[in-house]
Structure 1
Amino acid sequence: MNLPVSVSQKELLDVLLNISPVRPVYIWGAPGIGKSALVEKFAEEVGMPCVSLLGSQLAPEDIIGIPQIQDGVSAFLPPKMIAGKDPYILFLDELNDCSQEVQKAFYSLIYERRVGEYHLPEGSIVIGAGNRSSDNAIVKTMSSALLNRMFHVQLKPNVNEWLAWAYEAGLHPFVTAWTRSAAGGRAIF
């Protein structure tokens, strides 16, 4: 997939701040470059809890719920993990690693921010992420119906931004020295 928008770590936070409140954002990128950590940082910066679902470990009923009889009719009750009362960030990690059935279960959750009769609290934000097939990661093709429900960006790590974070986070000097050396002044990811 050729993505028209490539962003660095800092640019991703701007995209999430400006686009994700109105349209779900999907972050593509290599394994281990910090997609999940950046979503958690975004949630922290906007003061919202982050609920993460790992697509590769879900079944459809984990999203749509299990039917129960209420007043003589069946109703699907949303899973506790997504049935919050206050706005939150719903992070769908490894979305392109889940089965087609699970991807279908996400359609209304991503586009309409609802599961059955349950609607995410007003102000909730949906963000997805996954690896690319070019990374030799385990990925499955996402249908156009799912792809079209999101704004897509490709995360391209920036060594200088990463090093600034590493110094602030107190990573061991051996790690930052190796990274500076390996980068040779250019991006190494």
Structure 2
Amino acid sequence: MTLDIAAELLGLLSDTDTEPRPNDQLEALTLAVAADLPVLLWGEPGIGKTAALHQLAESLGLPLTTVIASVHEPTDFSGLPVIGADPAVHGVPMAPPDWAVRLVREGRGLLFLDELSTAPPAVQAALLRLVLERRVGALRLPPGIRIVAAANPRASAADGWDLSAPLANRFVHLQWTHEHDVVVRGLGGTWPRAALPRLDPAGLKDAVAYARRAVCGLLAVRPTLVHQLPKSETRRGGAWASPRTWDMALRLIAFGTAAGASRDVLSLLVRGVVGDGPGLELLAAMDRMELPDPESLLADPATAVLPDRGDLRQAALDGVVAAVRNRLDRERWDAAWDLLVRALETGAPDLVVVPATTLASLRQDGWPVPPTIERLAGVVTMSQRAVPETVAA
């Protein structure tokens, strides 16, 4: 009777709900899962990595198979040799373990490789084929299987090892941290809901073209980024740039673009495959791709749509001034002033200071001062060549 009451109480404690809630790391995880890329969650013990995977599997309606990598032998992943009646004729097949057979029987599911950083080098080597080719012995896992792993940093792992470079280079590395509000609300009975991203069917081709243009455009001008094997063993166990991970980055950008993912989510994913340095360069290149065409802005300043983000708006205005400098005439010069007024009306005033000062220095003798400059005089100190003392005052 006492145990029955205890079981009832435990049931009440485990009776929790979920709710839609913005969460960048959870969105990054589900996007990588949708893109069919192996994900590795890094975080301190007790941070909630395992709980997140259980909740993810439940939300997606996928059976979860958990394999503790450190307590298995290499043959549990590469297959156990089974000698048949005539090995000389039929060879020696590699029999898969029972968990792999169950996954194939289900046809879909989430394979969770836990405690990856405590797996010795021999086991890590055996995992290479599983993670990349989805093969366990002679068995190939079906396309409906997704792979997610979890690991603790070596300093906090029980008898931890650095991940080998070949194994690390096969994962999307996500740093898993706790958010105070999420934990408090979750302990109160409501956790964030994991959901696969909704992809826009009409935008799939454009998303692929955009991703290819972003990655290829960067690597064309920065060839040294194609392959950067870190010098230290510890850094080799994380995200680093290689042709494999650039291909992963391309896939993640395409999926993120088709799903309308935020820049913060794309940043987590891109840096999680090629590393912080190359990843930030790629993000900067993507930002430049999204800048409006300076000639389009000059053609119709009154209705021009400028980026909302301050750094992108500044870059767009600088691009307009550079375009005027490259092909300088009075009509384009006047249009640039109209555009600066537009920027002043729709954004932070300080962003027009540098472009206005540069534009003022381009004035040619005999060009009258545009009336629009008076609207900028209170914000920007103009060059005497462009603004008479009466206007500047």
Equivalent-residue separation in structure 1 for 2:139 and 2:94 (angstroms)? 9
Equivalent-residue separation in structure 1 for 2:186 and 2:166 (angstroms)? 36
* Runs of 4+ residues deviating >6 angstroms: none
- Distance change >3 Å, CA 136–CA 100, structure 1 → 2: closer
Q: Secondary structure at the match of 2:98?
A: coil
Whether 1:80 and 2:98 are equivalent positions in the alignment is yes
Q: Residue in 1 aligned with 2:32?
A: 19
Larger radius of gyration: 2
Q: Residue in 1 aligned with 2:48?
A: 34
Equivalent-residue separation in structure 1 for 2:154 and 2:189 (angstroms)? 32
Whether 1:92 and 2:113 are equivalent positions in the alignment is yes
Q: Displacement, 1:64? A: 2.1
Between stretches 65-74 and 110-119, larger displacement belongs to 65-74
One-letter code aligned to 1:25 = V
Cα RMSD, aligned residues only: 1.9
One-letter code aligned to 1:15 = A
Between stretches 63-72 and 101-110, larger displacement belongs to 63-72
Decide whether the 8 Å contact of 2:117 with 2:157 is kept in 1: no
One-letter code aligned to 1:63 = F
1:125-165 deviations in Å (ceiling 9; x for gaps): 00111101243653101111000000001011101001111
Structure ranking higher on relative contact order (CA contacts 8 Å, 6+ apart): 1
Of the candidates 45, 56, 73, which is equivalent to residue 59 of structure 1? 73
One-letter code aligned to 2:120 = S
Equivalent-residue separation in structure 2 for 1:16 and 1:40 (angstroms)? 13
Q: Residue in 2 aligned with 1:139?
A: 160
TM-score (norm 1): 0.79
Whether 1:152 and 2:173 are equivalent positions in the alignment is yes
* Matched pairs, number: 162
Q: Secondary structure at the match of 2:144?
A: coil
Q: Residue in 2 aligned with 1:113?
A: 134
Q: Provide structure 1 residue ranges, at least 5 long, that are not aligned to the other structure.
A: 1-8, 170-189
Q: Displacement, 1:70? A: 4.1
Between stretches 127-136 and 110-119, larger displacement belongs to 127-136
One-letter code aligned to 1:66 = L
Equivalent-residue separation in structure 1 for 2:25 and 2:159 (angstroms)? 24
Q: Residue in 1 aligned with 2:8?
A: none
- The answer to which structure has the higher strand fraction is 1
Q: Provide structure 2 residue ranges, at least 5 long, that are not aligned to the other structure.
A: 1-21, 191-393
- The answer to which structure has the higher helix fraction is 2
- Distance change >3 Å, CA 136–CA 46, structure 1 → 2: closer
Whether 1:50 and 2:86 are equivalent positions in the alignment is no
Between stretches 116-125 and 97-106, larger displacement belongs to 116-125
- Distance change >3 Å, CA 36–CA 136, structure 1 → 2: closer
TM-score (norm 2): 0.39
